[in-house]
Structure 1
Amino acid sequence: MFACKNCGGNVKFDIKSGQLACEYCHSLFDPYAYEDKTSDAEVQKDFDATIFTCPQCGGEILSTDDTAAGFCSFCGASTVLYSRMQKEHKPAYIIPFAKSKDDCKQAYMSLMKKAIFAPKELKDPKFIDGFRGIYMPYWTYYVTQKAPISLPAKRSHRSGDYIITDHYRLEGDLDAYYKGLSYDASSSFDDSISEKLAPYDVKNMKRFTPAFLSGFYADTADLPSTIYASDAMDAACTNTVSEISKEPAFTGLSVDSDSAALSPLSLGTTVKETDYSMFPVWFLSYRNKDRVAYATVNGQTGKVVADLPISVGKFLLGSLIAAIPVYILLCLLTVLTPGMTLTIVGVLAIIANICYSQELTMIAVKEAGTEDKGRIAKEQPEALGAINNRRRLKAAKKATKTIKKKTNTSFIAYFILFIFVIQFVPALFAIIAGIGGSFGNADGSLILFVILTIISFIFSIRAFSSFDRMPGHKGVAGLIFGMVSMLIGDAVLLFQPVLDAWYYGAAFIIIASVLITLINVIRAFNVLTTRKLPQFATHKGGDDRA
Structure 2
Amino acid sequence: MTTDAQTAAAPVSFPCPGCGGSMSFDADSQKLKCAYCGGEREIAASLSRPVEHEMDSNEETSPGLTDWGVKQQVIRCESCGGESLIPALQTAAACAFCGSPKVLAQGDVASIRPETVIPFQLNQQEAATAFTAWKRKRWFVPNAFKKGSVASKLTGIYIPYWTYDSDTSSAYTAERGDYHYRTETRTRVVNGKTETYTETVRYTVWHRVGGHYDRSFDDVIVPASRQYDGELLEKLGNFELEKLIGYKPEYLSGFIAERYSIGRKDGWDRARSKIDAALESEIRNEIGGDEIRGLAVQSSYYNRTYKHILLPVWNARYTFKNKPYRYMVNGQTGLVSGHVPRSAVKITLFVLLCVAAALVALYLYGEYGSS
TM-score scaled to structure 1, two decimals? 0.47
1:147–1:213 CA distance, 2 compared to 1 (3 A)? same
CA distance in 2 between counterparts of 1:287 and 1:231 reads: 34
Q: Which has the higher contact order (CA 8 A, sep 6+)?
A: 2
Give the conservation status (yes or no) of the 8 Å contact 1:62–1:218.
yes
The Cα of 1:49 is off from its aligned counterpart by 2.3
Give the conservation status (yes or no) of the 8 Å contact 2:160–2:224.
yes
Which whole-Å deviations, capped at 9, do the CAs of 1:426-455 have from their partners, x for residues lacking one? Answer: xxxxxxxxxxxxxxxxxxxxxxxxxxxxxx
Residue 155 (structure 2) aligned to one of 122, 127, 132: 132
Q: Give ranges in structure 2 of 5+ residues lacking alignment.
A: 1-12, 49-62, 184-199, 356-371
Matched, 1:209 2:248: yes
Aligned to 1:99: 122
1:146–1:84 CA distance, 2 compared to 1 (3 A)? closer
Aligned to 2:67: 46
Which whole-Å deviations, capped at 9, do the CAs of 1:196-232 have from their partners, x for residues lacking one? Answer: 3224343333333322211211222223223242332
Larger mean CA deviation between 44-53 and 62-71 belongs to 62-71
Residue 308 (structure 2) aligned to one of 276, 294, 308: 276
- What CA RMSD, in Å, does the superposition of the two structures yield over aligned residues? 3.9
Which whole-Å deviations, capped at 9, do the CAs of 1:76-116 have from their partners, x for residues lacking one? Answer: 44x56555652441233323223333443333223211335
1:145–1:215 CA distance, 2 compared to 1 (3 A)? same
The Cα of 1:134 is off from its aligned counterpart by 0.8
Aligned to 1:113: 136
Aligned to 1:227: 266
| Equivalences, count | 307
Which whole-Å deviations, capped at 9, do the CAs of 1:292-343 have from their partners, x for residues lacking one? Answer: 53212222333322122325xxx34x589x6xxxxxxxxxxxxxxxxxxxxx
Q: Secondary structure at the match of 1:239?
A: helix
Q: Secondary structure at the match of 2:64?
A: coil
Q: Give ranges in structure 1 of 5+ residues lacking alignment.
A: 36-41, 323-411, 418-546
TM-score scaled to structure 2, two decimals? 0.66
CA distance in 2 between counterparts of 1:100 and 1:166 reads: 61
Matched, 1:29 2:29: no
Amino acid at match of 1:30: I
CA distance in 2 between counterparts of 1:69 and 1:222 reads: 19
Aligned to 1:86: 108
The Cα of 1:272 is off from its aligned counterpart by 0.3
User: 1 or 2, which has the higher strand percentage?
Assistant: 2
Residue 230 (structure 2) aligned to one of 191, 200, 203: 191
Larger mean CA deviation between 42-51 and 107-116 belongs to 42-51
CA distance in 2 between counterparts of 1:159 and 1:192 reads: 48
CA distance in 2 between counterparts of 1:288 and 1:106 reads: 18
Q: How do 1:366-385 residues align onto structure 2 when only pairs under 5 Å count?
A: none
Larger mean CA deviation between 42-51 and 225-234 belongs to 42-51
CA distance in 2 between counterparts of 1:254 and 1:98 reads: 48
Q: How do 1:83-482 residues align onto structure 2 when only pairs under 5 Å count?
A: 83=105, 86-89=108-111, 90-115=113-138, 117-118=140-141, 120=144, 125=149, 127-128=151-152, 130-147=153-170, 153-156=176-179, 158-160=181-183, 161-167=200-206, 174-243=213-282, 253=289, 256=292, 259-261=295-297, 266-270=298-302, 272-286=304-318, 292-311=324-343, 315-316=344-345, 318=346, 412-413=350-351
1:144–1:126 CA distance, 2 compared to 1 (3 A)? same
CA distance in 2 between counterparts of 1:94 and 1:154 reads: 48
Aligned to 2:31: 19
Matched, 1:72 2:95: yes
